[in-house]
Amino acid sequence: MSNLPNEVGADGSTQPSKKPMKNTFNEQSPAVLVESVMFSYVSGKPIIDIKKWRLNKSEQVFLYGPSGCGKSTLLNLLSGILDPQQGSVSILNTDITALKPSKRDRFRAQHIGVVFQQFNLVPYLSVLDNIRLAMHFANDGDDKQSTDKRSTDKQSTDKKSTDKKSTSKQERIISMLHALQLPTDCIQQKASELSVGQQQRVAIARALINKPDVLIVDEPTSSLDASAKDAFMKVLIETATNSNAALIFVSHDQSLARHFKRIEALTDINESAALGPELDNKV
Task: Give pLDDT, residue 143.
Answer: 39
In a domain, 64, yes or no: yes
In a domain, 5, yes or no: no
The two beta strands, 262-265 and 14-16, are unpaired
Task: Give φ, ψ of 172 to 5 degrees.
Answer: -65, -40
In a domain, 147, yes or no: no
The pTM for the full model equals 0.74
Q: What secondary structure does DSSP assign to 155-170, as a single string?
A: HHHHHHHHHHHHHHHH
In a domain, 188, yes or no: yes
Query: Would you say residue 59 has pLDDT above 80?
Result: yes
Task: Give pLDDT, residue 47.
Answer: 92
64-109 pLDDT, tens digit per residue, is 988 778 888 999 999 999 999 999 999 999 999 999 999 999 999 8
User: Which range (3-12, 47-56, 132-141, 242-251) has the least confidence?
Assistant: 3-12
Closest CA to 90 of 81, 82, 100, 80: 80
181-202 pLDDT, tens digit per residue, is 788 889 999 999 998 888 888 9
CA geometry: angle at 202 spanning 172 and 60, to 5°? 90
For the chain, what is the largest distance between any 2 Cα atoms, rounded to a whole number of angstroms? 78
Q: How many domains does the chain have?
A: 1
Task: Give pLDDT, residue 26.
Answer: 54
Q: Is 128 helix (H, G, I), strand (E, B) or coil?
A: helix
In a domain, 102, yes or no: yes
The two beta strands, 6-8 and 14-16, are antiparallel
Where does residue 155 rank: exposed (0-12), middle (13-18), buried (19+ CB within 10 A)?
Answer: middle
Q: What is the CATH number for 241? A: 3.40.50.300
Q: Which one has a higher pLDDT value, 67 or 130?
A: 130
Expressed as residue numbers, the domain containing 39 is 24-141+171-275
Q: Which one has a higher pLDDT value, 91 or 227?
A: 91
In a domain, 210, yes or no: yes
In a domain, 72, yes or no: yes
In a domain, 14, yes or no: no
Query: Would you say residue 168 has pLDDT above 60?
Result: yes
Task: Give pLDDT, residue 166.
Answer: 63
Distance in angstroms (rounded) separating the CA atoms of residues 30 and 48: 21
Query: Would you say residue 277 has pLDDT above 60?
Result: no
Query: Would you say residue 215 has pLDDT above 90?
Result: yes
